[in-house]
């Protein structure tokens, strides 16, 4: 087994004659959705040699890696790191009929890189894990969970997160970040294609580390859907830590039930919604609890307030108003902060003029070389970073530049 190389400074990393791993070329290609033929054209390395390099049949030289890194705009150190890919089957990202294998692999590899980065930063910064309550709360019984059981788990989760058991969760993202759960947007689910913006999330419930939730983010995705997605992934982290429901449908149903219960507690939904409540009532619920009209209707149906006829009638009314595509009432999108703060704490350029790390720009060379992650990904995951060369007019490439 090859050993991963660890450095303490960028200079040490760049001057080190490290061993490069051919499999990392395949990883980078998967993240970028780049074919072997395309990489061969960009680097001048024959496809046959690239294939042998990626399968460890021939050694990967520094000259080869330099060509690949330049072509893909990756730090050279990316190819000397070893990051264990989390199997797709252990992740919660749902493959739809329209999902390509390229998309699924890109999400899997990008999430694996994000998760490894979060673990490294936590260790480097000696951060306490405040999410151990997830282990204590997570059920072990393999049988399907009912509405009442999931309601109780959602209520307990609120309590462990120091949230009131009733009323709206003012900021779902911040509530999770206070419990050491990193929330970060991923580039792979959309890959610049806004037509696919459906707010899919991904996490790794079986991880022994503090949780990390990735999600697809685009300006066209409303804030209420993002809140539901993140609550849905929190449900996966708790409900499926030690359980693996017999079908993907059951797993998704449980996570959806949890999200509804977490955002709209039972006592609240009973007080706000009656069996004959008009559609306008659900608009009021959206305003008060930051949950979509669709999710509020589903929640009222799940707990037995609405019967099947009333549920069907409300769905027809939603469709006739065009609310299946665009609901009224805007819920602002929440912005994650924790990962940005961690990157700044580890890589900010420090001087005597300020004691506030958040005011200082990130040392791009240190950050990219030591993590092995291209700056555009660090910037995207952290929801925006300031680099040290900005004052001199030097600006690193970002996904927003595309």
- Which pLDDT value is given to residue 10? 54
Q: Which residues, listed in sequence order, are joined to residue 202 by a DSSP beta bridge?
A: 214
CA–CA distances in Å: residue 128 to residues 107, 112, 121, 131, 181: 28, 21, 12, 9, 11
Among the listed ranges 127-136, 143-152, 188-197, which one has the minimum average pLDDT value? Answer: 188-197
Mean pLDDT confidence for 323-351:
94
Q: With 70 as the cut, is the pLDDT of residue 81 above it? A: yes
In Å, the largest CA–CA distance within the chain is 72
Residue that is written with structure tokens 């929190």 in the block: 234
Torsion angle defined by CA atoms of residues 318, 320, 321 and 322, in that order, rounded to the nearest 10 degrees? 80
* Residue bearing the bigger pLDDT, 104 or 284: 284
- Which pLDDT value is given to residue 360? 77
Q: Which long-range contacts (CB under 8 A, 24 or more apart) does 219-224 make?
A: 220/194, 221/197, 221/333, 222/292, 222/327, 222/330, 222/331, 222/333, 223/290, 223/330, 223/331, 223/332, 223/333, 223/334, 224/286, 224/290, 224/291, 224/292, 224/295, 224/327, 224/331
Retrieve residue 234's tokens: 């929190």
Mean pLDDT confidence for 152-170:
98
Are the C-beta atoms of 81 and 24 separated by less than 8 Å?
Answer: yes
CA pair distance 121, 144, nearest whole angstrom: 36
Q: With 70 as the cut, is the pLDDT of residue 4 above it? A: no
Q: With 60 as the cut, is the pLDDT of residue 238 above it? A: yes
User: Can you give the C-alpha Rg of the chain in angstroms?
Assistant: 23
Q: With 60 as the cut, is the pLDDT of residue 11 above it? A: no
Mean pLDDT confidence for 177-202:
82
Q: Which residues, listed in sequence order, are joined to residue 185 by a DSSP beta bridge?
A: 215
- Which pLDDT value is given to residue 192? 60
- Which pLDDT value is given to residue 351? 58
Nearest to 93 by CA among 190, 185, 215: 215
Mean pLDDT confidence for 321-344:
96
- Which pLDDT value is given to residue 245? 95
Residue 293's contacts (CB-CB under 8 Å, 6 or more residues apart) are 279, 282, 283, 285, 286, 318, 323, 327, 328, 329
Question: What tens digit of pLDDT does each residue of 250-288 get?
Answer: 999 999 999 999 999 999 999 999 999 999 999 999 999
Half-sphere exposure of residue 51: CA atoms within 13 angstroms, side-chain side: 4
- Which pLDDT value is given to residue 356? 52
- Which pLDDT value is given to residue 15? 46
Look up residue 201 and give its DSSP letter.
E
CA pair distance 312, 274, nearest whole angstrom: 15
Mean pLDDT confidence for 130-151:
95
Q: With 80 as the cut, is the pLDDT of residue 185 above it? A: yes
Nearest to 213 by CA among 235, 239, 193, 190: 235
Q: With 70 as the cut, is the pLDDT of residue 131 above it? A: yes
pLDDT band at 393 (very low <50, low <70, confident <90, very high): confident
pLDDT band at 13 (very low <50, low <70, confident <90, very high): low
Question: What tens digit of pLDDT does each residue of 278-309 get?
Answer: 999 999 999 999 999 999 999 999 999 999 99
Q: What is the pTM of this model?
A: 0.92
CATH of range 1-82; options 3.30.420.40, 3.40.50.300, 1.10.260.40, 3.40.50.2300: 1.10.260.40
Cα-flanking dihedrals φ and ψ of residue 170, to 5°? -60, -35
- Which pLDDT value is given to residue 199? 54
pLDDT band at 196 (very low <50, low <70, confident <90, very high): low
CA pair distance 137, 242, nearest whole angstrom: 11
What strands, in cross-sheet order, belong to the sheet with 201-202? Answer: 182-186, 212-216, 201-202
Helical H segments across 126-169, by residue range: 133-137, 147-160
All structural domains of the chain with their residue ranges: 1-82, 124-320, 347-401
Question: What tens digit of pLDDT does each residue of 367-385 get?
Answer: 999 999 999 999 999 999 9
- Work out the angle at residue 142's Cα, subtended by the Cα atoms of residues 140 and 145, and round it to the nearest 5 degrees: 90
- Which pLDDT value is given to residue 194? 54
Mean per-residue pLDDT over the chain, rounded: 91
């Amino acid at each position: 087994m090859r050993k991963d190389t660890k450095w303490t400074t960028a200079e040490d990393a760049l001057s080190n004659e490290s061993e490069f791993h051919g499999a990392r070329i395949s990883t980078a290609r998967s993240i970028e959705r780049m074919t072997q033929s395309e990489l061969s054209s960009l680097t001048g390395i024959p496809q046959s040699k690239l294939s042998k390099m990626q399968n460890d049949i021939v050694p990967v030289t520094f000259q080869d890696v330099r060509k690949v890194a330049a072509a893909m705009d990756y730090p050279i150190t990316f190819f000397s790191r070893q990051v264990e890919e989390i199997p797709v089957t252990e992740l919660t990202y749902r493959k739809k009929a329209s999902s390509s294998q390229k998309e699924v692999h890109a999400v899997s590899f990008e999430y694996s890189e994000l998760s490894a980065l979060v673990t490294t930063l936590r260790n480097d910064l000696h951060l306490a894990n405040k999410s151990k309550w997830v282990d204590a709360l997570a059920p072990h019984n393999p049988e399907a969970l009912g509405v009442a059981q999931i309601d109780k788990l959602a209520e307990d989760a609120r309590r462990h997160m120091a949230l009131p058991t009733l009323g709206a969760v003012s900021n779902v993202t911040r509530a999770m970040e206070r419990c050491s759960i990193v929330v970060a947007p991923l580039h792979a689910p959309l890959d610049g294609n806004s037509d696919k913006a459906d707010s899919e999330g991904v996490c790794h419930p079986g991880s022994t580390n503090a949780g990390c939730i990735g999600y697809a983010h685009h300006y066209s995705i409303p804030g209420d859907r993002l809140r539901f997605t993140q609550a849905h992934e929190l449900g996966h982290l708790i409900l499926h830590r030690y359980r693996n429901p017999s079908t993907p449908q059951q797993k998704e149903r449980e996570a959806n039930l949890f999200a509804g219960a977490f955002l709209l507690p039972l006592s609240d939904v009973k007080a706000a919604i009656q069996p004959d409540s008009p559609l306008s009532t659900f608009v009021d619920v959206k305003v008060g609890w930051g949950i979509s009209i669709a999710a509020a209707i589903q929640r009222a149906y799940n707990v037995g307030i609405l019967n099947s006829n009333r549920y069907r009638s409300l769905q027809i009314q939603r469709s006739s108003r065009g609310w299946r595509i665009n609901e009224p009432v805007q819920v602002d999108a929440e912005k994650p902060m924790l990962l940005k703060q961690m990157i700044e704490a580890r890589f900010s350029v420090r001087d005597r003029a300020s004691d506030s790390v958040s005011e200082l720009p990130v040392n791009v060379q240190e950050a990219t070389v030591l993590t092995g992650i291209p700056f555009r990904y660090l910037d995207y995951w952290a929801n925006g970073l300031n680099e040290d060369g900005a004052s001199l007019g030097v600006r690193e490439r970002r996904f927003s530049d595309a």
